[in-house]
A and B are shown apart, each in its own frame.
Chain A
Amino acid sequence: DMSLAKQSTDYFVTLYTKQPSADGFGNNNANDGRVLSASPGSSSSTGSNKQTAAVTPEDQQTLLAVLQFLKKNKLSESVEILRREAGLPENSLDPKANESAGAGSGGAAGIVDLEGGDASSLLSRVTGSSSAGAQAPTKGTVQSGCSAVAEDQPDVSVVLSAYSQQGDPTLYKVYYRDLKKFIETVLDCHRAELSQVFYPLFVHMYLELVYNNHESEAKAFFEKFSGDQECYYEEDLRILSGLTKKEHMRGNETLLDFRTSKFVLRISRDSYQLLKRHLQERQNNQIWNIIQEHLYIDIFDGMPRSKSQIDAMSGSLAGEAKREANKTKVYYGLLKEPEIELPLDDEDEEAENEEGKPKKKKPKKDSVGSKSKKQDPNAPSQNRIPLPELKDSDKLDKIMYMKEATKRIRLGPDNLPSVCFYTFLNAYQGLTAVDLTDDSSLIAGGFADSTVRVWSVTPKKLRKVKSAADLNLIDKESDDVLERIMDEKTASESKIMYGHSGPVYGISFSPDRNYLLSSSEDGTVRLWSLLTFTCLVAYKGHNYPVWDTQFSPYGYYFVSGGHDRVARLWATDHYQPLRIFSGHLADITCTRFHPNSNYVATGSSDRTIRLWDVLSGNCVRIFTGHKGPIHSLAFSPNGKFLASGATDGRVLLWDIGHGLMVGELKGHTDTIYSLRFSRDGEILASGSMDNTVRLWDAMKAFDDLETDDFTAATGHIHLQDNSQELLLGTYTTKSTPVIHLHFTRRNLLLAAGAFNP
């Protein structure tokens, strides 16, 4: 898989150039006062060791490709280091020696399984030898399984040879028309299924013509048949129509992916047989070859699907997900909450519930929690991935949370939430991202002028910690030391943090409210301290704009995704990513952690959503069905469902356990930039560019669809068109696009956006 190889080489090269600065930040990181005993690798080795135990010949090939690329670009030193590290013989780049190198692929076992290894050793290795650092991403890229298998020769340009076969260019039209005629004459039940092949065939035939320099034929072909394609491919067709020269194909990443990854179609066995028979009868080898080489036909037994069923699932850049891609077991259950004793002598509690003792008991009972007492069968084991231990302050916060939760309003169709709107005024520089802390006390905005601003939305002002000299003077033993370390003189309603050199596209508070993450166009993710309001670390790894980032619900870990089409999992105290999730065919536009922190969902402009296992780095779910880039994701609080919103203005609901689409919510007229479930999951709120917030009956949407076994087995869903029933309310703003939504702990809906006069 050369596109991946290319990415990794890019990565490799930049790592070399950026190493010193990264080191600097590493040290900085070490100075960070936060100490966490858990490190991600320490207990996760079991899962990933298996996979990386043996280096397959494919990996070997990829390595050679990387070496070839480096050599070609005269990075001889890098070549040398990588070669030595991989244990390849000196002449491995000699084409003649390829055979032998491939045969002796055991030598490549020198690629140490860094991911499985202990994190501390990873850290030491990374800082110790820079080449090892370079290895990790290479490894991760290759390893993150579900992408297409690498079968290429070790030269990047050879990827294009996929289209080297020559047919008579004038006959392409005839072939296509012939097939079209055939499909139009088959029985209705097969027609819809077979029509799926039109689009990929059309694209590949067109590209083949372009590749072989038949420009005018290609144009004529496009002219003739582009109108037949489904309307949701319009965007791709527009890109395609601009591309008429072989030279242009080379630089176009979208098309590179289209060629190198197989377009996946689901077709029933009967329909497939029909098609196959027809093509063989007509000796239509041109088309047959394309189907063989570039299409992956996922054949199933049973009734052919209807047009609406197909339309619901198609629309992504690379067709539908293969069925087996969604078969892996996903532990979507929630982790057991740590049991926290509510202090009985709580003054507030007493003050509030003066009159009766029974009330006092109630919150305590809740704190132990009926559901958290028993382990959810669908939940991952408590230590599947290592999580940071709770600090005292975290426990206090949990107590606060539970107290608030007892005052939570139960929402429903008859009891809609109140909406408060946080309007950013005078945001002429452009508001690009917003986040609120879980307790709704702080709001942060990322701006196009590279700044990050934090506001306190409570009367409590933002204060910095005193300078080191002043800190020396305070009495460390006093009870209110945490209060004493703060510098009253710095108290203000808002703070501005400078550091990025490009628009800030993603922003996320840590659950403990001590940190803030921001991702920017400058390719970095920065960690800011909300105690000093300074930057602690700049995580460099994405070499392109980073579109989104988010903290894990348990803190410590965070995920980022960007233009380089990979998502990275980081820990705040490592300046290298712990996992690299690769597989998307286009930019990763949004990233979200599962409530149990064991999974990460990413949305992409290839119009798919992928769910990644944090432990193994594997892609465990691929959801297709959106017709535009996905810009918002939200997990339901119980972890069972995922909601996604895209530029097509639709919200899709997914059952994570079954890997199925379970709902479609139509109503918005513009890109949906924010989605949020209410605290108990009864209501889904969606905020959009169309200046509205819409509330949907999530309970009903999920209840109506207790999935039957057949649907679960085949993945063929019947979506009801019940958007109107599920829509509980549409709330308009005053010419303010809604870019963030948040339910407070008591279920008050907060929305945020910048006023655009």
Chain B
Amino acid sequence: MADREERRFAEVSRESVRLMAEGAGVELGDDVAALLAEDVCYRLREATQSSSQFMRHAKRRKLTVEDFNRALRWSNVEAICGYGAQDALPFRSVKEGELFFVEDRDVNLVELALATNIPKGCAETMVRVNVSYLDGKGNLEPQGTVPTAVQSLSDDLLKYYQQITRAILGEDPHLMKVALLDLQSNSKIAALLPYFVYVISGVKSVSHDLEQLNRLMHMVKSLVQNPYLYLGSYVRSLVSSVMYCILEPLAASINPLNDHWTLRDYAALLLSHIFWTHGDLVSGLYHQILLSLQKVLSDPVRPLCSHYGAVVGLHALGWKAVERVLFPHLPAYWANLQAVLDDYSVSNAQVKADGHKVYGAILVAVERLLKMKALSLSQSAEGQSGAHPGSVVGAVSYRVNSPGLSPPPEPLSEAALGIASHLQVGGAGCHWEEWTPVPLPAMYCELYSFFGDSLAVRFSTGTGFGTHSPCTPSQLGDSRKEPPGPASNLDTTRKMPQLTANLNISPRQDGSPRTDPPPPTTRGAPRSAGLSREVFPKARFTSPQTTPPAFSFLIGGRQMGQRCQGRRPFQTMFATTPPVSAIPPRTYAHKLPVIGRVGKPVRRWTCSHYSLHLPL
């Protein structure tokens, strides 16, 4: 007993023995308790050892309570009851008494006896045979587990399953419609869910067949819309199938005649639908989706149709997704796109067409972004009703660390915009890069640098401007600074031609910037002079503006947040009312046909200046 620290076994202490004895109304001496404790330990070990052979003969790895009870019974000891449950028994402690006990809930026998819901799925034990290896050849890796639902299906269900899949994947469009409708409303198909999910996961095998892919996507939609189905973790599988259709360079895309774009659009809509309705079923789903979209977007090797998918996917997920993923990526991505669009060779024609598709998608996405952001800002500004004019920017630049386990529903409709501020839910366990949104003006400015007037036009026609008082620099209070001077630092100029007219770059202010909320420690890293060149190797810079701006302000923001360690601020000086004459020839903008909105001709380019005071 001296070598207590060198225990080979779990021991029952003499104190426990004495407690038990007291419980039975017996006072025990110290020595008696010690002896008893030792004997109890030995007997327990003995019983455990002999119980292990019951386990071995039952060909199990896990020792069960049943095994132990058998050992007890064979050594003429009463078996212990009440521990045979499959679930782990919670072990509780009472602090005051230093007592530990197993929680033992009352079972309402009446309820149990009169319960009408007889548990299903008590499937019959059966033997199934399959040829595992033919002539000794076969898959040598472990094959994982068999499909999660091995319980057998009733004949009816099986028949239903066959009919439905045949109808959906078959020729008859009418039948398909009926099948999809039923799938959407049938309340008894829960057992078939794994099978349907499995069928849908077959997208990879039919990537050459647009029609089939479409049908499978419709099947997803029906399943998602079925109110009786609890998708559970199958959401993940469904999402990955849908993502496949959005992002993968499908075999069907090889033929330019195939309209895989529509499929991608549809799948993207579907994705957002699944996400908004079932996103809470899988934790971290939002981030996983965003991350994978981002991965595709930042991978230049991927074909343009994949990029297109990523963009429409982000767009479908809401403007916040666009803001967080697409917008920061845009500068980097632009270069590639530009390269494609600049290539006029015949061999590039197809790629170029694809590029235009992507361009159009981006444009739609960012316009919506701008519009929604402006709207949300104005509403939050309205909500605060001028209590603190300077807080407007602050309201924009709230920090979103991560939407958390269950991403809050982002507004899809404009009516729901008011809840945008709920996004601040801090999430634990998500490894999303800390991220601060770029204020709207900076964003607009940056976007304008890419899209030029094609953007501005759309923007200006979006919301009614007259409802809000135009923003003046003074309203922004000390968060904005007067530019120290025009264009003294050419290195940091945004090098998109259209912008150069409107934009003056001020030298970076020493000291900490003002507009952005903490943490300031991550800011202030000097911007590397060559960065912009690296990012836009092809961009050619035309001469700076000729006219000094009437008034300008600085926008703090960041650039290339994804790539840099911290946020690197750049300051942009805007001319709110650029003279018409000051606009240089738009060397690049004119090269970009406005894809996707051919019907809408570029209107007055002058509208661009509205955009600056309207939302602020």
Contact = CB atoms under 8 A, between A and B. Distances in A.
Interface stretch (B38-46, B171-179, B505-513): B38-46
Given A430-B60, A734-B145, A243 B42 contact: yes
A245 B38 contact: yes
Interface string A725-738: 00011111111010
Given A423-B130, A521-B70, A755 B150 contact: yes
A515 B123 CA distance: 28
A757 B127 contact: no
A545 B54 CA distance: 9
Contacts, number: 153
A421 B145 contact: no
B11 to A, nearest CB: 11
Contacts of B124: 426
A418 interface: yes
B95 interface: no
B145 A426 contact: no
A102 to B, nearest CB: 35
A457 interface: yes
A730 B138 CA distance: 10
B44 to A, nearest CB: 9
Given A429-B125, A521-B54, A739-B59, A248 B142 contact: no
A730 B140 contact: yes
A550 to B, nearest CB: 15
A692 to B, nearest CB: 9
Interface string B106-140: 00000000000000000111111111111111101
A471 interface: no
A647 B58 CA distance: 13
A677 B187 CA distance: 52
Nearest to B138: A731
B129 A422 contact: yes
B131 A431 contact: no
A500 interface: no
Nearest to B57: A505
Q: Which of B60, B70, B127 has the most CB of A within 10 A?
A: B127
Contacts of B128: 422-423, 425
A728 B129 contact: no
B136 A729 contact: yes
A426 B123 contact: yes
Contact of B144 (A238, A239, A734): A734
A689 B59 contact: yes
A443 B125 CA distance: 13
A729 B132 CA distance: 13
Given A241-B8, A427-B125, A731 B132 contact: yes
B134 A418 contact: yes
Contacts of B142: 691, 732, 734
Contacts of A219: 3
B262 interface: no
Contacts of B469: none
Nearest to A503: B58
Given A731-B133, A757-B145, A430 B45 contact: no
A460 B41 CA distance: 56
A734 B146 contact: yes
A269 to B, nearest CB: 39
A729 B134 CA distance: 12
Nearest to A728: B136
B151 interface: yes
B45 A426 contact: no
B53 interface: yes
Contact of B140 (A242, A415, A732): A732
Interface of A: 216, 219, 223, 238-239, 241-245, 247-248, 251-252, 415-432, 443, 445, 447-448, 453, 455, 457, 494, 502-503, 505, 521, 544-545, 547, 563, 587, 589, 605, 629, 631, 647, 671, 673, 689, 691, 695, 728-735, 737, 739, 750-752, 755, 757
Given A219-B3, A420-B129, 12 more contacts: A242-B9, A247-B39, A417-B135, A423-B127, A425-B127, A426-B125, A432-B58, A432-B59, A545-B57, A545-B74, A647-B56, A730-B140
22 contacts: A242-B42, A245-B38, A245-B42, A252-B46, A415-B136, A419-B132, A422-B128, A425-B123, A432-B58, A432-B59, A447-B125, A448-B58, A448-B66, A455-B126, A502-B70, A505-B58, A563-B74, A671-B56, A673-B59, A695-B136, A733-B132, A755-B146
